[in-house]
Amino acid sequence: MSLTIHPEAILRELSELWVSLGKEADQDYPSGVLRACTMTLLAVVEESEDTSDVWSVIAALMPEHPSRAIVIRFRQQAGRELSARVFSQCWMPFGYRRQICCEQIEITASDASLPDLPAVIVPLAVSDLPVILWCRGTRLLGLPDFPLLARIAHKLVLDSSAFPDPADILNRLNAHSRSGQVLGDLAWTRLTRWRELVSQIFENRDYVARLPGVAQVRVGFGGDRPPTSAYYLAAWLLDCLEHSGAKAHVSWEPAPDASPGQLARIELIGANGDGSRASIAVAADGERQCAQVQVDSLSSMRLFPPDNDYVLLREELSIPGRDPVYERTLTQAARLASGRKSKP
């Protein structure tokens, strides 16, 4: 393994790869190879992690978000060390004559070489297209030089639910966001289906008219303290309710049947005597999640799609720019989490 890498050499290898794919394609697929690219997707992982999982997520994303993918594996090591390999991934969509290919680069780096990485990544990033940084390790976000890498990216995507202290990570993210970093948090992405259901309930004008009377928001969660997703959802609900003139407060309610870190239920309750109530309760049903929606006496059941990394990233990659609803919610969620933490 070499101790350093040269972006020009990687680009040359990529170019040779395309030529050889073209030659193969001439023989096997007379219509040639179609090279598609909408972004540079940069994934940073711990070296100990099995990168085949990461590559399989990236492969699944390629048809909808074709990109130049760069995976950086970090090794906890003091010496400066970098190495790289280049390959491509092609697929033949069913029923089509042309195969689609995307470029993939894998870099192995020691922690100490993190400051050297921007000089490698910048020339490797596809020009004029966004760079999305997907950070998979909780430790990596804490590396002192991580901001050097984050600065290259148009958007930083991570999963705050993997961090042990919700208040701490929400406040850190809020600070990043306030400094101008565009963020995507998969813990927030997981809530899209929940939020969509809430919104769907209030497409009904009769129910919207009752919103100013909502006095309480109950959030049920597994474990002994609310996860980041519970703070996000409560913050979003409070913010939206405030827009409709409601002054509601949040009640946190542990749900014994739910696994730690899971959201189990939300409920909007009208002021005393009003009797209005809308709730969504989600329970696992094998590999799927069933959401029971109850508004007054009317109930219905919805299935939530699976929320694996592929599904969540697919949604985040569709929003390369700022998400004002998320940013507003993040500020409020950080405040809620800090407020709860400071209580004895």
Partner 1 sequence: MSLENPFQDPLRFERRIPECAVVIFGANGDLTKRKLLPALYRLAYERRLSPEFAVLGISRSPMSDSEFRDRMCSSVSEYLEDSPFDKEVWEGFAQSLYYMSGDVMDPGTFSTLASRLKEIEEQRHTSSNVLFYLSTQPSHYEPAAKGIGEAGLGTGKGWRRIVVEKPFGRDLASAWALSDKLHEVFRESDVYRIDHYLGKETVQNILAFRFGNGIFEPLWNRRYVNSVQITAAESIGVEGRGAYYQEAGALRDMIQNHLLQIMATIAMEPSATFQPDAVRDERAKLLRSIRIMKPSEVLENSVAGQYGPARIGGADVAGFRQEPGVDAESQTNTYAAVTFLVDNWRWAGVPFYIRTGKRLPKRVTEIAIQFNSAPHAVFGDNGDGTTPNLLILRIQPEEGISLRFLSKRPGAGMKLRPVSMDFNYGSSFGERSPTAYETLLLDAMVGDATLYTRQDMVEASWAVVEPIMQVWDQNKFDFSNYPAGTWGPKAADEMLARRGHAWRKP
- Contacts with partner 1 in 175-194 (CB under 8 A)? 192-193
Q: Binder to partner 1 among 93, 147, 260, 275 (CB under 8 A)?
A: 93
Asked if 216 is part of the footprint of partner 1 (rule: CB under 8 A), the reply reads no
Q: Binder to partner 1 among 80, 98, 225, 277 (CB under 8 A)?
A: 98
Interacting span for partner 1 (CB under 8 A) from 1-9, 14-22, 50-58, 240-248:
240-248
Question: Residue 88: what are its φ and ψ, rounded to 5°?
Answer: -130, 160
Interacting span for partner 1 (CB under 8 A) from 39-47, 50-58, 207-215, 333-341:
207-215
Q: What is the SS3 assignment for 220?
A: strand
Asked if 311 is part of the footprint of partner 1 (rule: CB under 8 A), the reply reads no
Asked if 306 is part of the footprint of partner 1 (rule: CB under 8 A), the reply reads no
Q: Which residues of 67-99 are buried (b: 16+ CB within 10 A; e: fewer)?
A: bbbbbbbbeeeeeebbebebebebeeeeeeeeb
Asked if 241 is part of the footprint of partner 1 (rule: CB under 8 A), the reply reads yes
**What is the spatial order of strands in the sheet that 277-285 belongs to?**
249-254, 214-221, 263-270, 277-285, 288-295, 298-304
The alpha carbon of 89 is separated from its chain's Cα centroid by a whole number of angstroms, namely 23
Count of residues that bind partner 1 according to CB under 8 A? 48
State how far the Cα of 248 lies from the Cα of 48, in Å rounded to an integer.
46
The residues that bridge with 108 in the sheet, in sequence order, are 73, 83
Interacting span for partner 1 (CB under 8 A) from 79-87, 104-112, 146-154, 297-305:
297-305
* C-alpha separations of 314 from 67, 94, 132, 184, 311 in Å: 12, 21, 12, 12, 5
Give the residue with the Cβ less far from partner 1, 122 or 303.
Answer: 303
State how far the Cα of 50 lies from the Cα of 39, in Å rounded to an integer.
24
Asked if 20 is part of the footprint of partner 1 (rule: CB under 8 A), the reply reads no
| Structure token digits, residue 98 | 């042309």
Asked if 243 is part of the footprint of partner 1 (rule: CB under 8 A), the reply reads yes
Asked if 303 is part of the footprint of partner 1 (rule: CB under 8 A), the reply reads yes
Binding site for partner 1 (CB under 8 A): 31, 34, 36, 62-64, 66, 93, 95-96, 98, 100, 192-193, 195-206, 208-209, 211-212, 240-241, 243-245, 290, 293, 295, 298, 300-303, 315, 319, 323-325
